[in-house]
Homo-oligomer: A and B are copies of this chain.
Amino acid sequence: MRILVTGAGGFLGRGLIARIADALPQARRIVLTDRVVEGLGGAGVDTIAGDLSDPAFRRALLDPGFDLVFHLASIPGSLAEREQGLGLSVNLLAPIGLAEDVAARQPGARFVFASSIAVYGNLGEDTVTGATACQPELTYGAHKRMTEVLLSDMTRRGALSAISLRFPGLVARPATESGHGSAFMSQIFHQIAAGTPYACPIAADSTCWWMSRPAAVETLLWAARLADPGTTVVQPPVLHADLTSVAAATARITGQAARIDWGNDPVLRQIFGAMPPLDASPALALGFRADADLDALARAALSGDP
């Protein structure tokens, strides 16, 4: 089995490549790609640097084809909103070109796509189900949704066997990372663990959807292994909890006090902090799992692995 990971140098990518060789021992070849690949390689793993929106690069990269592709490469939502040309290239044209080229070399290849809950747009108070409409409110979410539609169609006609996974903001991203509007969701873990005061931009009763990077990595690997998913879009299970509860869990497992000054940013709250409950039963029936509970989430978020 030949495996390709795009966006391998990103937060999720680094988590995946630390697990991939163990988790998929049938791999005969593993190729990691990103714009910069220094430090990503290892025993039995090739790295190739390049730009996925460049057809010539894709041609070279995909020779002679892959059985399994994890397409993780994208730029974050707030950056894509500011830099529309870059967002179009990275978040839309590159996935279209990659999917078509992967299918041309290896029809029916499994294509695991890191989509996003940004596809939904503003959710009301109703529980999110498979019937929830997608009305993205950010260009990032629109491009993710377009890619989902493309991959569903390619799967229908046998060109690929694609699974799009709608990830929430993953925690805990490095304290230094920028470009994510959801940065506060990671900072809350880091700042409490460090014992430092933190000015959180939204209110304590804001409810988010939570998933640790280790849980996201297991979600990717599960999607890669599913023999017959019977669907092309999966909303993975998440933890649905308010910031107070997450702060309390983090304080509990770190032995620190949560010293948080809660804010009131209406835009961030609308996008990330007003999430309704999720009915994840379709994904649970397929075997996907969330973090076990908030303490497990906080531990995984702070594990620093890889």
Contact = CB atoms under 8 A, between A and B. Distances in A.
A149 B131 contact: no
Given A88-B100, A131-B133, A157 B139 contact: yes
B96 A92 contact: yes
Number of copies of this kind of chain in the complex: 2
**Chain A interface, DSSP helix/strand/loop, else mixed:** helix
A156 interface: yes
Interface in A172-213: none
Contacts of A157: 81, 84, 139
Contacts of A138: 153
Interface of A: 81, 84, 88, 92-93, 96, 100, 131, 133-139, 142, 145-146, 149-150, 152-153, 156-157, 159
26 contacts: A81-B157, A84-B157, A84-B159, A88-B96, A88-B100, A92-B96, A92-B150, A93-B96, A131-B133, A133-B133, A134-B149, A135-B152, A136-B149, A136-B153, A137-B156, A138-B153, A139-B157, A142-B149, A142-B150, A142-B152, A142-B153, A145-B149, A146-B146, A146-B149, A146-B150, A149-B149
